[in-house]
Chain A
């Protein structure tokens, strides 16, 4: 009885309820993906230009994520932000809460894709309650963003048939997944399956995180961009202006990505018109 009275006293004094277990999975924020998609629909407008900020792997570094979001808040030209997974390191509720508090401070929509670390412990349960489905897609200014869970160790074989349907049924597709191609977790047959989907003509770009360092390749005509980890304020930008798509690395000053050796003709990738 004394315990119940003490608990009531503490909580009535504005002190949060204690945590009863590290493995609790009842987040205070729920349905963030649906909320932010609704927000995104509201800012669609009539332009076809687009500026997307790409933030990777804030696991265990919420301070860096907070600083990055504050910087992005000062750039009114950015339409929305994607976080490319590994929101948490251990999939624990407290870690998810740190990130949702930061997301609440953003003045632009933030969409997330699930990372392998987010699947540890009860992470899947917390992620689906706090954000929403592990695979989802949305269309913004005629471009369909396919947020695909491709973390094999935690969820088994990724849903390739869902990905293929999304790519086949939309005209301009950007796939965002945590694991980049050839990250070493997918089996060879799965990598080949994914590569065949990336070669579909509807594919515009492929965006990833996971490896904690920036990488940019062009597969045929498909840009494959892997963002650096957010630590020390690193993020990426994808812009579409007058049907021209570009990628930038920001630290936080932004410079356009270079690839190949000195082949400047490859710096501009034209979107289908």
Chain B
């Protein structure tokens, strides 16, 4: 967690603290209501999102922070619209006490329970300052289970989907402040 915050701060310093875009996403283990911001550099995009799932869906109110890192593998241009498939990995950190190990558990007895790694594949459609994306997401542990149960678990069993929107902040909009 400390490492992640440090990395984001360093990245922010390098970029004069001004994110290139703001982001919201539904699903994909990130939350129902999410908000965040991020940076885009060439074909690399990163986002930091705070997610919330209300109790009537989550069983209890759930809060998380997600750090997404993705790379566009190609880009097709149609007039002013670009379509870009991408892959990436998220680090999802639960902010809820239930996801932390009980105090009695000896160190190293279990893997981390409050941090999950979520690989994903998706496609984004960008036009001007607006970008929509749709992606399929799994967890590292689910992919491991898929390998161990390849004849039983389907891809549908081990993945979910998410979709979202990015608004790219015009470069002059914030830098004049």
Contacts and interface: CB of A to CB of B under 8 A. Distances in A.
Contacts of B151: 63
Interface string A116-128: 0101111001100
A91 B99 CA distance: 10
B26 A63 contact: no
Nearest to A126: B59
A271 interface: no
Chain A residues touching B, range: 35 or more
A126 B59 CA distance: 9
Contact of A19 (B29, B109, B144): B29
B62 A23 contact: yes
B58 A63 contact: no
A248 interface: no
A19 B160 contact: yes
Interface in B66-116: 92, 94, 96, 98-99, 101-102, 104-106, 109-111, 113, 116
Contacts of B161: 10, 15, 18
B141 A24 contact: no
A195 to B, nearest CB: 21
A79 to B, nearest CB: 26
Contacts of B38: none
A18 B27 contact: yes
A63 B153 contact: yes
Chain B residues touching A, range: 35 or more
A25 to B, nearest CB: 3
A154 interface: yes
B41 to A, nearest CB: 27
Contacts of A66: 152
Q: Which of A20, A95, A98, A152 has the most CB of B within 10 A?
A: A20
A21 B101 contact: no
Contacts of A62: 145, 149, 152-153
Contacts of A117: 110
Contacts of A119: 102
B96 A23 contact: yes
A73 interface: no
Interface string A65-106: 011000000000000000000000111111100100000000
A61 interface: yes
B149 A89 contact: no
Given A24-B62, A60-B145, A63-B153, A153 B27 contact: no
Contacts of B110: 117, 120
Given A6-B163, A122-B60, A24 B53 contact: yes
Contact of B165 (A3, A90, A129): A3
B109 A18 contact: no
Given A18-B28, A120-B110, A26 B57 contact: yes
Contacts of B96: 23
19 contacts: A2-B165, A7-B26, A19-B28, A20-B62, A22-B29, A23-B96, A24-B53, A24-B57, A26-B57, A61-B149, A62-B152, A63-B149, A90-B141, A93-B59, A94-B157, A117-B110, A121-B113, A153-B104, A153-B109
Interface of A: 2-3, 6-7, 10, 15, 17-26, 60-64, 66-67, 89-95, 98, 117, 119-122, 125-126, 129, 152-154, 156
Given A21-B62, A90-B111, A95-B145, 14 more contacts: A2-B132, A10-B161, A22-B92, A24-B57, A24-B59, A26-B57, A62-B153, A63-B148, A63-B153, A64-B149, A98-B157, A117-B110, A152-B104, A153-B109
